[in-house]
Structure 1
Amino acid sequence: MLLLTLLATVGRAVAQTADTPEMADALRQSGKIYVVVAVILIVVIGLIGYLISLDRKVSRLEKEIR
């Protein structure tokens, strides 16, 4: 749910930007924009994996306490 809200917010911000930044054009032309997107995806996937792992550990500890 949080991810969808974040994506919607970013989508609106991008849509409202009438002028495309020069840096984005340069990255797109050279193909490096895909590297940027890949790095962002790796970081987000890593954070989600860490949170899932942490949730499992906390759940296990809660069961031990009961």
Structure 2
Amino acid sequence: MRLPSFLKFPLAALVLLSHTLMAQQPVSNGVEMADQLRADGKIWVVVAVIAAVFAGIIIYLIRLDSQIGKLEKEVKNQTKHKTQDVG
């Protein structure tokens, strides 16, 4: 079902403004879970796990880039040899 254009703009404005209208009131004491983790010293475990996951993703992307680079070189060499054989 397509909406007429004169209804799209007010609807879009309502959607964009609704997040501020329906937002929760700010918490005055802070986040209890984060405060408890900080108090117990476990926040560093959370930080270490997030850092390890991030480092793993970065290493994976670097390896993937190098493998794709090797494949591109192989394809380029194969097409070069095929054009030389034909010509």
The answer for the alignment partner of 2:40 in structure 1 is 30
Larger helix share, 1 or 2:
1
Structure 1: unaligned runs, 5 residues or longer: 1-16
Percent identical: 54
> Which of 40, 52, 71 pairs up with 1:61?
71
Letter of the 2:71 partner, please give it.
L
**TM-score, normalisation: structure 2:** 0.54
- The one-letter amino acid paired with 1:50 is Y
Q: 1:18 & 1:36 partners in 2: Cα distance?
A: 22
Taking CA–CA contacts closer than 8 Å with sequence separation of 6 or more, which of the two structures ends up with the larger relative contact order? 1
Q: Matched residue pairs, number? A: 50
TM-score of the pair, normalised by structure 1? 0.71
Divergent runs of 4+, >6 A: none
RMSD after superposition: 1.3
Report the CA distance between 1:18 and its aligned residue.
5.9
